Chain A
Amino acid sequence: MSQPDPYQPDPGIGRSERGVVLAYMATSGAVLLLMMVLGLIMRLDQGELLGMAPDWFYRVLTLHGTGMVGIAGLAGAGIMWYFLRQYVGLSLAVAWANLALFLAGVILIITGIALGGYAGAWTFLYPLPANPMGMWDTGGAASFLVGLLIIGVGFLLLHLDCARAIIARYGSLGRALGWPQLFGRNDGKAPDAAVVASTMVLIVNTLGLVSGAAIVVMSLINLYFPAFQVDPLLAKNLIYFFGHVFINATIYMAVIAVYHLLPRYTGRPWPSSNKAFLGAWTASTVMVIIVYPHHLLMDFVQPQWMLVMGQIISYTSGLPVLAVTAYGAIVNLHRAPIRWDLASALLVLSAFGWAAGIIPAMVDATIVVNQVMHNTLWVPGHFHFYLLLGTIAMALGFMAWMVRTYGGARESGLDQLSFWVYAVGGVGFVGMFLIGGREGTPRRFAEHLSGWIPYDRWASLFAALVIAATAVFVVRFFAGLRRAALTEA
């Protein structure tokens, strides 16, 4: 059996297209590393190995959360853009505009936190931004919120551009989701996985971003005109709908790298024009939208049917991942003549991270469990699982592949070691969050009780390992970046 060659440049991607994608990934990689260090600082502080004043702990928490969510979105968008561009005519200008807006938003957010003292967390739960009790000033909160708004506008533009380009080529979003093949006779000609996934994401993220923008604007008005009030339950629904959709969309974009690159490493196709695949993506489109009430399970006043739906849809949301994407990765990999390198290893890890990360999520979405685990460290445990070992592993794998394919990066003796350090450190790190949750440790606590501290310290050690490995990945990416950007493929 011949060894596949996974390092073939994509013909549909010219130098300028590659440039914008690399800019997305470079920004994400650099910010990722910085935010990870902030994460370690929080863990060290909780473990009493570092003495930080609580107001600074909460500022760091706010920056880490916002920054990580932002770059997960940016990295996912970079991956999506790279593959989708090979099928439809995306606009380069819009892609750059999104990045520029992102950076402008980042500056406002950092200003709001560092100078304005804002520490209301990335979820800015109404009416906290306007009730800081002296911890931040109105301008700080406003700067943060406007920053979010600007970043949201950038992503909205990007998704609208995707919609425009997809409709221009496929005629409608339904066709782009492969509905003729899903609901009719399957002629095997459904759009590529990149198109299906991008369509799903543009639908859910447009709704999410519009809801997010609405509550951001209302919160801004409330900051300056306290008489203008919002129903706190409505605000919560809007915020969690936006937050849930946006953070989930990151992995639905990033997974395109797994669909496209893993088959190049195994030399086996991963067909997407089948009813299981298309059905999974259409079902996910609906489920991502209606599952968000699982964030409100402890809001007893919420209509009960929504909460029950939150639990049930949380369970069914696992099916597409466990039975289609992760399962498909296993089928593609099983006894394949795979070529292992940093990229392929990270992509396989990411399929594991996603599949495994949804288990603690589904457990916590069970109402009776949620009643004793909600807002404990169990929650960061589950989302760091699928973000660190899922979305981010996808992004790092894609980045390694890019600089190898376009930048001539070579394999290094460090690759294998740093891969395993990342994987083991990552599992250990999220494991400590989950154990913290089991022990009842609240999330977002600047100070922990003595019984919780040993886990904080172990987590710090694992986090340091993750950071060391990530530093290797990111440095290697930057080392190959220039050549990857300039080479004529």
Chain B
Amino acid sequence: MYQEIAWQASLLGVALIAAVFLYVGLRAGNPADFGPIKRRLYAVRTYWFAFLVALGAWLSVETLADLPYSTTHGEAARPAEITTEVTGHQWYWEMDRTAFPAGTEVAFEVTSADVNHGFAIYNDDDRVVAQTQAMPDYTNVLRHTFREPGTYRVLCLEYCGLAHHKMTQEITVTAPDR
């Protein structure tokens, strides 16, 4: 979902800027006095600036409310229903369990035995649904609730050497328990 939003928002922003540059670039052959143009455009800038600040503030409020970090810092309101350990190795994933019920919250305690890896869960449409870094000496706790039953796959999203792209692990998500 966020992939699509990110793409649409970026496309819109880039297209808008491109349109302004093309418009101004192509009209540059039709010169006019700089004085009035400068005054007018710098007046507009105040509104443009205010608009950007408002947009940024709104986006921050909307997106900073629900962050994925609290469990790692021991601040989660309640424990997850399932907790499981994940360790990255060059080049395989060691996982306590690889089958989970849909609709149940899982806390993946992710670490690494050697270098940095990236623990990323892909659904069967090859989209990332969640990720965290697998770091030596540290444990990142990733909480995730699988929505749909199906076959998921872990890929490594931090470059870790020769077989980085082969470091996969299947996860099976079954129909909800109850």
Contact = CB atoms under 8 A, between A and B. Distances in A.
A372 B157 contact: no
Interface of A: 1, 54-55, 58, 119-121, 125, 127-128, 131-133, 135, 231-233, 236, 266, 268, 276, 298-301, 304, 307-308, 311-312, 315-316, 318-319, 322-323, 326-327, 330-331, 333-338, 340, 348, 351-352, 355-356, 359-360, 363-364, 366-369, 371-376, 378, 434-435, 437-440, 442, 444-447, 449, 451-452
B90 interface: yes
Nearest to B29: A338
B7 to A, nearest CB: 4
Interface stretch (B79-87, B96-104, B130-138, B170-178): B130-138
A130 B10 CA distance: 38
A323 B48 contact: yes
A438 B4 contact: yes
B56 to A, nearest CB: 4
Given A334-B27, A348-B25, A445-B165, A121 B159 contact: yes
**Residue with the highest number of chain B CB atoms closer than 10 Å, among A299, A372, A378:** A372
A127 B128 contact: no
A128 B52 contact: no
B140 A299 contact: yes
B28 A333 contact: yes
A300 B165 contact: no
A311 B157 contact: no
B56 A315 contact: yes
Interface in B23-39: 24-25, 27-32, 34, 37-38
B105 to A, nearest CB: 16
Contacts of B133: 298-300
A331 B42 contact: yes
A374 B131 contact: yes
B155 to A, nearest CB: 6
Interface residues of chain A: helix, strand, loop or mixed (majority) = helix
A135 B91 CA distance: 13
Contacts of A300: 68-69, 72-73, 132-133, 140-142
A356 B14 contact: yes
B37 A369 contact: no
B22 to A, nearest CB: 9
A316 B69 contact: no
A372 B130 contact: yes
Contacts of A120: 161
A44 B136 CA distance: 34
Nearest to A338: B28
Nearest to B160: A128
Contact of B115 (A131, A315, A337, A445): A131
Interface of B: 2-7, 9-10, 13-14, 17-18, 20-21, 24-25, 27-32, 34, 37-38, 41-42, 45, 48-49, 52-53, 56, 59-60, 63-64, 66-69, 72-73, 90-91, 114-116, 118, 120, 122, 126-133, 135-142, 155-166
B139 A301 contact: yes
Contacts of A447: 165-166
Contacts of B131: 298, 371-372, 374-375
Nearest to B127: A440
The 6 closest A-B pairs by CB, nearest first: A359-B13, A300-B72, A337-B31, A300-B140, A375-B157, A315-B56
25 contacts: A55-B162, A119-B162, A131-B161, A232-B138, A236-B116, A298-B118, A301-B138, A311-B60, A316-B56, A323-B45, A323-B49, A331-B37, A331-B38, A335-B31, A336-B34, A340-B28, A351-B21, A355-B17, A363-B9, A372-B127, A378-B6, A434-B10, A440-B126, A442-B120, A442-B155
A335 B30 contact: yes
A131 B64 contact: no
Contacts of A374: 118, 131, 157
Contacts of A1: 31
Nearest to A331: B41
A335 B27 contact: yes
B53 A376 contact: no
Contacts of B3: 372-373, 437-440
